[in-house]
A and B are shown apart, each in its own frame.
Chain A
Amino acid sequence: MDRIPILKMGDFLLVTIQVDLYDQLAETLESDLAQMVKKYSSKGVLIDISAVSIIDSFMGRILGNISNMSKIMDAETVVVGMQPAVAITLVELGLPLKGIHCALNVERGMELLRSKVILDTPEDDEDDSNPE
């Protein structure tokens, strides 16, 4: 069965969605991410949706779920690279994705994630020397 790969980058998890998500795939991603956050005790999750051209209400909810789920496991979620059309659709659907941090591209997303994690736990910022 198809899976969306989840990459570990130091303290963060990187998910790049390259295909249009169908419901089963999204649900798998949600549970996989929960497992990975637990496994690596990650501090942040970065989801790149720049290649996604369709997001429906279900997907919006999945993104919300991922964010909430990560938050209670002490990880921040940043969604990056949303296309203008997708943003408009989500807003029109009445899903402004409150509680999810967004950034324009992966670079900015990483910056945002770092600033949040460092702000939260200023003592372990030299901790990200894990090779992977």
Chain B
Amino acid sequence: MKNEAVKIIKAKKKFILEQWFQNQVENDGLREDLITNEDQRIQSEELLNSFAASLSESNFDNAQSRDFEKVEEILSGIAIARARRGFSPRETGAYVFSLKSAILKTLSEEISDAKVLYTESMRINSLLDNFSIVTFETFIKGREDVILRQTDEITEISTPVIKVWDGILALPIIGTLDSSRTQIVMENLLQEIVETGSSIAILDISGVPAIDTLVAQHLIKTVSATRLMGAECIISGIRPEIAQTVVHLGIDLSEIITKASLASALKTAFGMLELEVRKKAVPKTI
């Protein structure tokens, strides 16, 4: 038995493309806000061409065949691009599935024998299912990459160490402190202490939404580490709710200097360095 489906797909490429595109429109798979119709058509055409070109009698039953590497590459590219542009999983899935229905429809029009049609459909089904799996895997991977990149960016921008005065560093912490962030905060702070030779570090936690025992432990660790470096650590920006929580949880912060605001922490730091801020004496004019 000759393989009908391969021949039909190769011959009816144009028709399949039209069908596919129509399916996409019907499925709301087109997001004109995210990708233009024209781009989508070019993309689809490239994919279908590559699929038809790599399809042959020998690899028709074998979706793992190396011949399909090119197709999978294009699919992965499309999936990752879609993940970055913010397509939903459903839209991405529908994109590949609509190709399947386009091909099946074409086959049903071309093959009259029901038995042949059935076997060919089953084979094309398993082949395309494999493609959908590849698409989905890369789509999810693309999304994960986006998330990872954002996490990196957040950690990078959220832990600046500011030199507020000679010998005084301030470190505003924004967001929840978890183990990995504490590690980064600690490393940055200690490194900066060494570089600037500072003797006082102010840890401002007004941007920390909530404190539990774990966060408090991380704070205490940071304070201990700065002490080991020979610097004194002041924790500032303790909001009333946080003070309440700390007391209710029974966390002992008595060995740490704590201040309600950054301003009073800075004042304390000035005191420790024996500095004084005064209003400029205005020479009397008369």
Interface on A for B, CB 8 Å cutoff?
79-80, 82-84, 86-88, 90-92, 96-97, 101-105, 108-109, 112
B195-252 residues at the A interface, CB under 8 angstroms: 197, 199, 221-222, 224-231
Q: CA A97 – CA B221 in complex, angstroms?
A: 12
Whether B266 is near chain A, meaning CB under 8 Å from some CB there, is no
Whether B78 is near chain A, meaning CB under 8 Å from some CB there, is no
A108 and B225 within 8 A (CB): no
A87 and B225 within 8 A (CB): yes
B140-194 residues at the A interface, CB under 8 angstroms: 183, 186-187, 190-191, 193-194
Q: CA A96 – CA B186 in complex, angstroms?
A: 14
- A84-B187, A88-B183, A88-B187 in contact; A104/B228 too (CB < 8 A)? no
Distance between A78 CB and nearest chain B CB, rounded to angstroms: 8
Pull 30 A–B residue pairs with CB atoms less than 8 Å apart, ordered by A. Answer: A79-B228, A80-B230, A82-B229, A83-B194, A84-B191, A84-B193, A86-B228, A87-B228, A87-B229, A88-B187, A88-B190, A90-B228, A91-B186, A91-B222, A91-B224, A91-B228, A92-B221, A96-B224, A96-B225, A96-B227, A96-B228, A102-B229, A102-B230, A104-B194, A104-B229, A104-B230, A104-B231, A105-B230, A108-B199, A108-B230
Decide if the interface of chain B is mainly helix, strand, loop or mixed: helix
Distance between A84 CB and nearest chain B CB, rounded to angstroms: 3
Q: A87-B226, A103-B230, A104-B230 are in contact. List 19 more A-B contacts (CB 8 A).
A: A82-B229, A83-B194, A84-B187, A84-B190, A86-B228, A87-B190, A88-B183, A88-B187, A90-B225, A91-B221, A91-B222, A91-B224, A91-B225, A96-B225, A102-B228, A104-B194, A108-B199, A108-B230, A109-B230
Q: CA A87 – CA B225 in complex, angstroms?
A: 5
Chain A: CB-nearest residue to B231? A104
Distance between A63 CB and nearest chain B CB, rounded to angstroms: 10
Which residue among B191, B197, B225 has the maximum number of chain A CB atoms within 10 Å of its CB? B225
Q: CA A127 – CA B197 in complex, angstroms?
A: 31
